[in-house]
Amino acid sequence: MRLRRFAWTPVACALAMSIAHAVEPAARRPVATYSIVARDAASGELGVAVQSHWFSVGSVVPWAEAGVGAVATQSFVEPSYGPRGLAALRAGQPPESALRELLAADPSPDVRQVALVDAQGRTAAHTGKNCIPAAGHRTGRGYSVQANLMLSDEVPQAMAMAFEAARGPLAERMLAALEAAQGAGGDIRGKQSAALLVVRAQASDKPWTDRLVDLRVEDSDRPLAELRRILVLHRAYERMNRGDEALAAGRLDEALGEYAAAEIMVPDNDEFVFWHAVTLVQNGKTDAALPLFARAFRMGPVWMLLVPRLPGVKLLPDTPGLVEAILEAAPRAAPDPRRR
């Protein structure tokens, strides 16, 4: 049986109050329950994934910087561990040294749980003796998993085994670790939010591209299921972006292949279908585009309002009769697109 809320007995309340009085006001809440920091040995990518029965866990726990490392700070969370930990790694300190400095400067290290991984795959982790049990961590080659407030003490081991067994990109492997944690019982309070952050192996000269995956589920009864759904959507948009890049480089067949792959990944996305059809028309393949326009119009009749606007901004050829031919593809019983 999964418990939705922690049973705060008088003894537990007294313990929590004594801990809370020992830490600063901003850190008196047990934020995060299980997380993973990791470096992918093949790609060098660095990342953090986390799930909690706490609102917007992604705004406080995960920290990562391309070419530097990743940090998860949780339990009675001290958010400054994130930027300060990354600064230490950036300066060349190994994770163990950076962690010692963080804990030495903290008046309340016994209620903290924190893990770091650097760009070389070295790790360090700490679980304070006053983290609410079940609490613990496990480090492996290029990763650390950590958990507190668990239903059982089996969670870190389950996470480690799942991460090591998983294949594919780092984001998907870290998500597998989170799902294994939930399968082993997860947070004793239940579940609410989750986050996934992955950065490049090396910083680029375009820092706005260094975050490869940055996804959050702020409030959900099924945060991990929702996180997986939007990760699939993220991957589909990556295919669409690659298609755009191929099209700009004159590689039409490659572009159309990427667009088609994105549609297969997310078959109910009318945006993908519509712009795929537009691309076909732009490249003289109107006959092939019409069934896609029909499909897009069935999924979202409002696209019919957009078609006449596109020739004026050169997104469709200004060919006599073209707009009418496209709109003729609309299902006969299509709803009025002006009624939302």
CATH of the domain at 129: 3.60.20.10
| 61-75 confidence digits (pLDDT tens) | 999 999 999 999 999
CATH of the domain at 252: 1.25.40.10
Residues 180 and 261 in one domain: no
62 three-state secondary structure: strand
- Number of CB atoms found within 10 A of residue 65's CB: 23
Question: Is the residue at 7 inside a domain?
Answer: no
pTM metric for this prediction: 0.87
How high is the pLDDT of residue 331?
Answer: 86
Does 287 score more than 80 pLDDT?
Answer: yes
- Single-letter amino acid, residue 42: A
3-state helix, strand, coil in the chain (%, to 5): 45, 20, 35
- Number of CB atoms found within 10 A of residue 203's CB: 16
d(CA 177, CA 88): 27
User: What total of structural domains would you count in the chain?
Assistant: 2
287 three-state secondary structure: helix
**Position 335 confidence tier, pLDDT thresholds 50, 70, 90:** low
C-alpha radius of gyration, the chain, whole number: 24
Average pLDDT over residues 53-58: 95
Question: Is the residue at 337 inside a domain?
Answer: no
Question: Is the residue at 226 inside a domain?
Answer: no
Residues whose CB is less than 8 angstroms from the CB of residue 309 and which lie 6 or more positions away in sequence, other chains included: none
Domain boundary among the residues 194, 220, 246 is at 220
- 10 Å CB burial of residue 90 (0-12, 13-18, 19+) is middle
Q: Which residues pair with 19 in a beta bridge?
A: none
What is the domain extent for residue 315? 236-327
| 125-164 confidence digits (pLDDT tens) | 999 999 999 999 999 999 999 999 999 999 999 999 999 9
How high is the pLDDT of residue 19?
Answer: 38
**H or E segment and range at residue 299:** helix 286-299
Question: Is the residue at 241 inside a domain?
Answer: yes
Residues 205 and 77 in one domain: yes
328, 293 Cβ separation under 8 angstroms: no
How high is the pLDDT of residue 332?
Answer: 77
Residues 108 and 215 in one domain: yes
Residues 173 and 210 in one domain: yes
247 three-state secondary structure: helix
How high is the pLDDT of residue 55?
Answer: 94
Question: Is the residue at 308 inside a domain?
Answer: yes
**H or E segment and range at residue 114:** strand 112-118
Does 313 score more than 80 pLDDT?
Answer: yes
Residues 188 and 65 in one domain: yes
Residues 210 and 79 in one domain: yes
Residues 139 and 168 in one domain: yes
How high is the pLDDT of residue 267?
Answer: 95
Question: Is the residue at 338 inside a domain?
Answer: no
Handedness of CA 263, 246, 42, 140 (dihedral sign): negative
- Single-letter amino acid, residue 220: S
Residue 129: name the closest of 22, 51, 35 by CA. 22
- Single-letter amino acid, residue 331: P
Does 14 score more than 70 pLDDT?
Answer: no
Domain boundary among the residues 220, 254, 285 is at 220
For helices 170-183 and 223-248, angle between their N-to-C axes, nearest 10 degrees: 170
Domain boundary among the residues 186, 220, 254 is at 220
